[in-house]
Structure 1
Amino acid sequence: MLKQLYGEHFSIDFCKTSLSDPLDTFQIKYQLSLHSINQEKMVKNFDVDTPVLTSLQGFALSNPQLTLIKSDKVIFREPKKSNVALIAGGGAGHEPAHAGFIGKGALTGAVSGEIFASPSTKQILNGVKVLSSGSKGVLLIAKNYTGDVLHFGLAGERARALGIDTEVVVIGDDVAVGRSKGGLVGRRAIAGTVFVHKIVGAFVEYYKHDLKSAATLAKAVNDNLVTIGSSLDHAKVPDQDFKSTLKDNEMEIGMGIHNEPGVKILSPVPHTKNMLKDELLPKLLNPNDKDRAFVQFDEKDEVVLLVNNLGGVSNLILSAIAKTTTELLKAEYGIVPVRVYQGTLMTALNGEGFSVTLLNVTKADKATASSLGFKSIVELLDANTDAPAWPVKKYTTNAPAYDASLVKDDKDNVQPAGIFDFDHFSRFLKSGVEKIIEAEPLITKLDTQVGDGDCGTTLVAGGNGVINNLSKVPKSSLSEALHTISNLIETYQGGTSGGIFSIFISGLSEGIIINSSKGSPVDGTVFGKALVHALSTLYKYTRARPGDSTIIDALEPFVKEFAKSNDLHKAVEAASQGAKLTGSFEAKYGRASYVGDSSEIPDPGAIGLVEFLKGVESSF
Structure 2
Amino acid sequence: MTVKSFEVSDPVLSSLKGFALANPSITLVPEEKVLFRETSDDKIAIISGGGTGHEPSHAGFIGKGMLSGAVCGDIFASPSTKQILNAIRLVNAKSSGVLLLVKNYTGDVLHFGLSAERARALGINCHVVVIGDDVAVGRAKGGMVGRRALAGTVLVHKITGAFAEAHSTKYGLEGTAKAAQIIIDSLVTIGSSLNHCKVPGRKFETTLQGNQMEVGMGIHNEPGVQTLEPIPPTEELISKYMLPKLLDSTDKDRAFVDFNKDDEVVLLVNNLGGVSNFIISAIAEKTTGFLKEQYNITPKKIMTGTLMTAFNGNGFSITLLNATKASKELNTSFPEIKSVFELLEAYTDAPGWSPGFFEASSAPSVDASVLHTDVKVTEVGNYDHSSFSKWMKAGAENIIKAEPHITELDTLVGDGDCGYTLVSGVNGITKNLDTISKTSLSEAMAQLSDIIEGSMGGTSGGLYSILISGLSHGIIQTCKNKDESVTKDSLAKSFEIALETLYKYTRARVGSSTLIDALEPFVVEFSNSKDFKKAVTAAEVGAKSTATFEAQFGRASYVSDSSSVEDPGAVGFVEFLKGVESVL
The aligned counterpart of 1:512 is: none
1:86-105 aligned at under 5 Å gives the runs 86-105=46-65
Whether 2:82 is the aligned partner of 1:127: answer no
TM-score with structure 1 length normalisation? 0.56
* Pair 1:189 & 2:149 matched: yes
Q: Kindly state the Cα deviation for residue 392 of structure 1 after the two structures are TM-superposed.
A: 5.3
Q: 2:339 matched to 1:376?
A: yes
Structure 1: give runs of 5+ residues left out of the alignment.
1-40, 395-620
Residue in structure 1 matched with residue 303 of structure 2 by the alignment: 341
Task: Identify the match of residue 77 of structure 1 among 31, 37, 42.
Answer: 37
Letter matched to residue 310 of structure 1: L
2:223 to 246, 258, 261: 261
- Rounded Cα–Cα distance in structure 1 between residues aligned with 2:234 and 2:88: 43
Alignment pair present for 1:390 and 2:350: no
Aligned to 2:472: none
Is the partner of 1:88 in helix, strand or coil? strand
* Residue of structure 2 in register with 1:317 after alignment: 279
Q: Distance in 2 between matches of 1:140 and 1:369?
A: 23
Counterpart secondary structure, 1:293: coil
Question: In the alignment, which residue of structure 2 is the partner of 1:219?
Answer: 181
8 Å contact kept, 2:53–2:309:
yes
Shift, 1:245, TM fit: 0.7
Counterparts of 1:327 and 1:65 in 2: how far apart (Å)?
A: 41
Quick one: distance in 1 between partners of 2:218 and 2:354?
24
Of the three residues 120, 130, 135, the one matched with 1:160 is: 120
C-alpha distance in 2 between matches for 1:147 and 1:369: 34
Note the 1:168-567 alignment, pairs <5 A: 168-207=128-167, 208=169, 209-372=171-334, 373-391=336-354, 393=356
| CA–CA distance in structure 2, aligned partners of residues 169 and 341 of structure 1 | 24
Question: Residues 504-541 of structure 1: CA distance to partner in whole angstroms, max 9, x if unpaired?
Answer: xxxxxxxxxxxxxxxxxxxxxxxxxxxxxxxxxxxxxx
SS of aligned partner of 1:210:
helix
CA–CA separation in structure 1 for the residues paired with 2:65 and 2:234: 35
1:340 Cα deviation from its structure 2 partner: 0.7
Q: Is contact 2:305-2:355 (8 Å) kept?
A: no
Report the CA distance between 1:393 and its aligned residue.
4.8
Q: Offset at 1:143?
A: 0.5
Superposed CA deviations along residues 463-506 of structure 1, whole A, max 9, x for unmatched, are xxxxxxxxxxxxxxxxxxxxxxxxxxxxxxxxxxxxxxxxxxxx
CA distance in 2, matches of 1:178, 1:59: 36
Give the 3-state SS of the residue equivalent to 2:316 in structure 1.
Answer: strand
Cα distance in 1 between the residues matched to 2:279 and 2:355: 22
Does 2:20 match 1:60? yes
Q: Secondary structure at the match of 1:80?
A: coil
CA distance in 1, matches of 2:297, 2:60: 30
Displacement, 1:43?
Answer: 2.1
Secondary structure at the residue paired with 2:262?
coil
1:112 to 68, 72, 95: 72
Amino acid at match of 1:272: T
Query: Helix, strand or coil for the counterpart of 1:203?
Result: helix
Match of 1:433 in 2: none
Q: Is the 1:386–1:392 Cα contact (8 Å) retained in structure 2?
A: no
Residue matched to 1:455: none
Q: How much does 1:299 deviate?
A: 2.1
Is the CA contact (8 Å cut-off) linking 1:302 and 1:362 kept in structure 2? yes
Cα drift, residue 266 of structure 1: 0.7
Is the CA contact 1:60–1:67 (under 8 Å) kept in the aligned structure 2? yes
Equivalent AA in structure 2 for residue 45 of structure 1: S
Shift of 1:183: 2.0
Q: Distance in 1 between matches of 2:245 and 2:75?
A: 29
Show the counterpart of 1:137.
Answer: 97
Would the aligned equivalents of 1:384 and 1:392 in 2 still touch at CA under 8 Å? no
Deviations along 1:297-337, one digit per CA (max 9) or x if unpaired, are 01211110100000100111111111111111111111111
Conservation of the 8 A alpha-carbon contact between 2:303 and 2:355: no
Scaled by the length of structure 2, the TM-score of the pair is: 0.60
DSSP-derived class of the 1:269 partner: coil
Q: Distance in 1 between matches of 2:90 and 2:205?
A: 42
SS for the counterpart of 2:184 is helix
Instruction: Identify the range of structure 1 (41-50 vs 141-150) with the bigger mean alpha-carbon deviation.
Output: 41-50
Distance 2:45 2:121 in 1: 18
Identity %: 62
What is the alpha-carbon distance in structure 1 between the residues aligned to residue 220 and residue 309 of structure 2? 9
* Partner amino acid, structure 1, of 2:255: A
Return the offset for 1:241: 2.0
**In the alignment, residue 72 of structure 2 is paired with which amino acid?**
S
SS across alignment from 1:304: strand
User: 1:179-222 CA distances to partner (integer Å, 9 max, x unpaired)?
Assistant: 11112210000100001100010011012330000100111110
Higher relative contact order, chain-length normalized (CA < 8 Å, sep 6+): 1
What SS class does the counterpart of residue 72 from structure 2 fall into?
A: strand
Other-structure match for 1:467? none
Separation (CA, whole Å) in 2 of partners of 1:65 and 1:334: 44
How many residue pairs were aligned? 354
Deviations along 1:197-254, whole A, 9 cap, x unmatched?
0001001101233000010011111011000000000011112222211011110000
